[in-house]
Amino acid sequence: MALAQDIGFVLHARRYRENSRVLELFTRAHGRLAVVARVGQKQAVRTLATLQPFVEAQFSWRGRTTLQNLDHADAIETYLLAGEAGVCGLYCNELLLYLTLADLPLPELYDVYGDTLRELAQGEQNAAGLLRRFEWALLETLGYAFSCEDDWQTQLPLTGSGPFYFTPERGLSAIPTERGSVVLSSQGLACLRAREFQSPGAGSQLRPVLRAALDHLLGNRQLKSRLLLQSMQKYRQ
């Protein structure tokens, strides 16, 4: 069995028997994969610290089945996501876990994910903007991004002061559809075209449209981390 190695992050770890963990890894060149990590008593604390989410590490693994054996993990960089940033990071992990295919390399998305964690760890105030950037990168990488230029109903360029109406699987249009579609302002569209996710208000303006696009892909699955972020809001009000 050949040894494979790559840099990556742990998206999720769950206990498997007494001294093992099943890890969902998101690696740069091998995409998402599941490995079993044996965590011996002696090195447990040190190993478990590396096998936490938001730690970029050099992983090596071997095996022929879909569930392979982790050989080694060396931490490269740890991103300390304190408070709400931690929930934002778990939101990204949840999206990656549910929407990416196993064994599909997504290096560009990996880089955006790494940048998102880094900026969250650095205390970026505009977390909403970072999440919208990640969501858009995810949609683009998976081939589900919609056109910001053309009206899907008229096939003409999207012009005017808006508002624009978003329909999943179709895209944006200046003409409202019969079914309840999501509204995007011209300012929001301008931010999306220029990829200016960090500009003031972009995070909240783009949220409904990107959420509708992602929810369509997720089907009936509800993102628990999103519910958690929402339930934390009630304590602030």
Partner 1 sequence: MTFSPLLQQLMDALRCLPGVGPKTAQRMAFHLLEKDRQGAAQLVQTLEESLRRVGRCQQCRTLTEQPVCEICGNSGRDRQKLCIVENPADVLAIEQSSVYRGYYFVLLGHISPLDGIGPEDLGLDILEKRLAEGHIKEIILATNPTVEGEVTAHYISEMARSLNVAVSRIAQGVPFGGELEYIDAQTLSHAFEGRTHYD
Buried/exposed 42-71: b ≥16 CB within 10 Å, e otherwise: eeeeebeebbebbbbbebebebeeeebebb
The per-residue DSSP string of 68-99 comes to EEEEEEEEEEE----THHHHHHHHHHHHHHHH
Shortest distance, position 122 Cβ to partner 1, whole Å: 13
Pick one of 185, 198, 199, 225: the residue that binds partner 1 (CB under 8 A): 225
d(CA 80, CA 118): 9
Shortest distance, position 52 Cβ to partner 1, whole Å: 6
Which of 87, 106, 86 minimizes the C-alpha distance to 96? 106
Which of 108, 98, 92, 97 minimizes the C-alpha distance to 29? 108
C-beta closer to partner 1: residue 92 or 148 = 92
C-beta closer to partner 1: residue 2 or 82 = 82
C-beta closer to partner 1: residue 9 or 165 = 9
Residue 42 binding partner 1, by CB under 8 A: no
C-beta closer to partner 1: residue 3 or 227 = 227
Pick one of 55, 70, 137, 148: the residue that binds partner 1 (CB under 8 A): 55
Pick one of 21, 27, 61, 94: the residue that binds partner 1 (CB under 8 A): 94
Pick one of 40, 42, 66, 82: the residue that binds partner 1 (CB under 8 A): 82
Cβ contacts of 210 within 8 Å, gap of 6 or more? 132, 135, 136, 139
HSE of 124, CA atoms in CB hemisphere, 13 A: 22
Residues forming contacts to partner 1 in the complex (CB under 8 A) are 11-12, 14, 18, 45-46, 49-50, 52-55, 75, 78, 80-84, 86-87, 89-91, 93-94, 97, 223-225, 227-228, 231-232, 235-236
